[in-house]
Chains A and B, each alone.
Chain A
Amino acid sequence: MKEAQRAQGQERDRGDAPAPTLRPFVNLRAFRGGWFNVISGTIGTVFAAIVVYLVVRLALRLFFNDGHFDTDVFARVLAYRDLSTILLNTVVIVTSSMILALVIGSLFAWLMERTDARIDWLAGLLPMFSMILLPIAGAIGWVFLLAPQAGFINGMLRAALGWFGIAVASGPLNIYSWPGIILLYTAYMIPFAFLMVSTGLRNSDPSMEEAARISGASLFQTLWQITIPVLRPSLGAAALYIIWFGFSFFSVPVVIGNELRVRVLAVEIVRLVTFTYPSDVAVAIGLSVFLVIALGTAWYFQGRILRANRHASIGGKGQRTATLRLGKLRVWGQTLLIVYAVLTFVLPLLALILVALNGYWTIDISWGELNVANLWMGATENRAASRSLVNSFSLAVIGATIAMLVAAIFSLYLRHAHSRWALTLDGIIKLPSALSAIVIGLGFVLAFAGPPFQLGNTYAILLLCYVVLFLPQATISADAAAAQVDKQLSEASWVSGARGGMTFLRISLPLMVPGLIAGWGLLFVWMTGELNASIMVSGTRVPVIGFQILQIFQTGGFAVLASLALILTAINVVVLSAAHVFERRIGRGSSGRNAALFRA
């Protein structure tokens, strides 16, 4: 029978009898991916269009006024009062704190990655401290600690000096000073350096260093001649991120700078939009050009470093080598790491707690009368404060969810479509992270606040702004999550008869969930902490928590702002730990299963 069949088969293979054709309906080739593909592409296109629209509106505003070409904006920017001082201040502060941050951050990274001073539980937490405690709250916490008159630490120092018979009226330390502002900037920049250099160290081959050590180079020589050159790309990336962050950093200069009378670019831009009447968006946009120039320069140099270092090969991924034994220095190394945690997180948090419990800020704490009820009172009795808390919380929950879903859909689309169009969309959607929150915020004010959208001072504009602003970060998380899911898994579903939407719901999404949850947690924290864009976009109508804290600070309601900050910190801690636990629990299950599945 087989033989007969085979002979038949051969004949058919050669002959060209026309095949009977029964055509399946609807066969436009573009729709092969089904409706889900069309919808994913549309979602991506919409968000890319928003970004393009923002950028175009900004650029147009720079050169046109009422439909006429006109360089008036530039003239007004150049005539802006104290422009050169403002720019100089910004550059000096960002550069000096960047250098400090690079040194300290790299040292931390080296301690954690290559030496026995590593503190395991700190590895994931170290970069998180500055996020969990809202930067503006952290900065205010340091004001509570180091204000010349009423700072808690200053009080204690004066008491200590008093025992030695030295009497001082104020100080001896002062947060409202150049060292104060630079060190605070540094504290918030260290995480970038730490993360980048850690990654660099983890990916670089430690055997090069070992070889140098064996051939007799001292620890210092090895560091200088081997480690640092290899890490140049990571350091470059860290510098880039730090510049990106530093030029638009708002929390510290707005708290410290006013009193110190040091004005910086970011604060000026926000002030022009929100705290000036009538607001001067045009000049704000003009000023933001300096910001874009700084970022562009940083990108350019980063690109050159990367090109020049292409040969600096990276080997031995993942292999863990013998850690360097520091001997007596080990304790010092660990102390340094702990001190960072204490300075950026524990001390300002304690100061906030103290002020909140006490009900007002004073150096003479009556320890017996601290009242836990005060903690809640501040935030709950102040209507504006509780509203801002609700706003921020709901915006972050909704915003993070939307951003994460959009990102998940889009990164799957990107993986499967491979078209030039999809790649272009991806590039555009990631653009907001290359620009700064200030620029995007300005874009929203210009493009959506007025006609034709009239979304000014609404909840909707804030939500949209958050989603657009954080979509790049969301897509990075989603890309990572999607990469974990083998492409054949969704192809198998497709062949099994499921269309795109069904495959997304039943296969891709469930498998991506652990990664998406981790990303969601981060987005939540970023969104509650967002300040520059929010201030410009929402103003006073829809206050968010960071803005509220700032306003209360300026009017002196310290206990209220402290309790507000503490409640948010508590929420952040809970959300991040829940995301972490959740990710680990599902993640272990499915990734464990995954691993077993691909071990074969």
Chain B
Amino acid sequence: MRSKLILFLFSAALTLVNCERKPYRQGEILYQNFCANCHMDDGSGLAGNIPPLAQADYVRQNQERLACIIRYGIEEEIVVNGKAYSNPMAAIPELSEFEIANIINYINQAWGNDYGYVPVKEIRKSLEECKK
């Protein structure tokens, strides 16, 4: 009985510790280094000039486009949360498929977002499709 209790406490503690740990640590660091300048630490963007990534309908609805936006940039006007944006975003070609996957998975779960998980396989497929 006693050992069962200890086992239970131990696993409860493990679960708690695990929940505390931030997932997508590499994605977070990459985000800080490559995206936060423009999209801000909290994913809020810059009023009217740079669109948000936090609570952004565009991110939720265009999961298969995200990898291409990161690798090749984007120039066309887009609408995010009902607001139009037209400043171009430059390509970030130095990020590998894995790094792009880590960043997207970080964004998908950061700042209250809950936009699911994207495996590298999917990223690779999207990048194949948008390659010019």
> Do A and B truly interact?
no
Residues of A with Cβ closer than 8 Å to B?
none
Residues of B with Cβ closer than 8 Å to A?
none
